[in-house]
Amino acid sequence: MLSMVALSWVSALLVGTAVAPMDTTYLALPHASGQRVALHCMAPAKPTGRGVLFIHGSSFPTGLAAGFEFAPGDSWMHFMAERGFLACGLDFLGFGASSRPPAMLDVAEHAQPVLRAQEAADDIALAVAHMKSARGVRELHVIAHSWGTIPAATYAAQHLTALKSLTLFGPVVPVASPEKEGSHGAWFSLTAQQRLAQLRFADVVPKGKHLLETAVEQRWAAAYAASSPHVSGDEPDLIRIPEGPNVDIAAAMCGVYPYAAADIDVPVFVVYGNYDVIVDDAGASAFLARFTASPMKWQLRIDDGTHVMHLEHNRRSLYESVNAFIQAAEATPP
């Protein structure tokens, strides 16, 4: 592991650290007339033909996740772009800079849950096609978080030659006693401050231990509130969030996925924090064992990290570990 981390730093020095400003491309959705998804990208100083696509989780978009700047030029997307990758992050339908479907502007109970995993996998397909055809990416790695691991793996299972590796950060794994599923509308809601409070995982992290970065405590909630259009009658910082991911999460906790893990034939990395409430050592091992066709499988628990480790003080351990895995995946014969 240490040699691969060292290699990542050598690579950064060879490529150079200048990164182009983030640009956003809007991709029309063929399965949703008039709707589009936003693909945010940062280019390295010199094109290398290598790319990473970040896939966000169930409740906040790229700009609040891999694209969140803790300081100018300091984000996970910057980190990967500085190491020679075209670093892109996709906002799924209903999130961030992407469209809000009509169902999210109506009463939640009037429509079926917005954005299921297969629909999200189709959105990933659009992003991958754009990165390869318009941005010159030849070797593409996907880094997915939480619920996002479900559509990401679905895409990988359906497009066997498209990816070079698949990182599943805090994946949703089966549990012994899943909760009973309630009813689901098109969307659910919470305020930005409520979501920030959840990110602290105060009921899991030992008392007195504070893991969130200071920039998250100071700026994240305001940025989250600004990332979603306000609907008349809602509280000022209320966020309407697609409910479909919660349906997918409930199914996955029961062991039901929209893909067969045995179909995925690229290197797979399962990484998580020791305070993660979605996956633990035993769950990660059993989950990873399903990927029987993968030529290389890594499992790593990083201590002092929760389910949102990419927003915490130990985030650089996550960055470096994922980059080391990608370096090893690129060295693995097809």
Name the pairing type of β-strands 36-42 and 86-91.
antiparallel
Q: Which domain holds residue 106?
A: 2-330
Q: Angle, nearest 10°, between helix axes 149-158 and 244-253?
A: 80
Backbone angles phi, psi at 228, to 5 degrees: -125, 135
Q: What does the pLDDT read at residue 184? A: 85
pLDDT higher than threshold 70 for residue 9: no
pTM of the model: 0.93
Q: What does the pLDDT read at residue 4? A: 38
Stretch among 150-159, 179-188, 227-236, 298-307 having the lowest mean pLDDT: 179-188
Convert the pLDDT of each residue in 263-274 to its tens digit.
999 999 999 999
- 143: domain CATH number? 3.40.50.1820
Q: What does the pLDDT read at residue 16? A: 43
Q: What does the pLDDT read at residue 332? A: 82
For the stretch 58-89, what's the b/e string if a residue is b when 16 or more beta carbons lie within 10 angstroms of its beta carbon? Answer: bbbbbbbbbbbbbeeeebbbbbbbbbbbbbbb
Total structural domains within the chain: 1
Q: What does the pLDDT read at residue 17? A: 58
List the one residue out of 199, 200, 195 whose CA is nearest residue 240: 195
Convert the pLDDT of each residue in 82-99 to its tens digit.
999 999 999 999 999 999
For the purposes of burial, counting CB atoms within 10 Å of the CB of 256, is it exposed (0-12), middle (13-18) or buried (19 or more)? Answer: exposed
The whole-angstrom distance between residue 247's C-alpha and the CA centroid of its chain comes to 17
Q: What does the pLDDT read at residue 69? A: 97
Q: What are the tokens at 97?
A: 């800079």
pLDDT higher than threshold 80 for residue 2: no
Q: What does the pLDDT read at residue 177? A: 80
Convert the pLDDT of each residue in 197-255 to its tens digit.
999 999 999 999 999 999 999 999 999 999 999 898 898 889 999 999 999 999 999 99
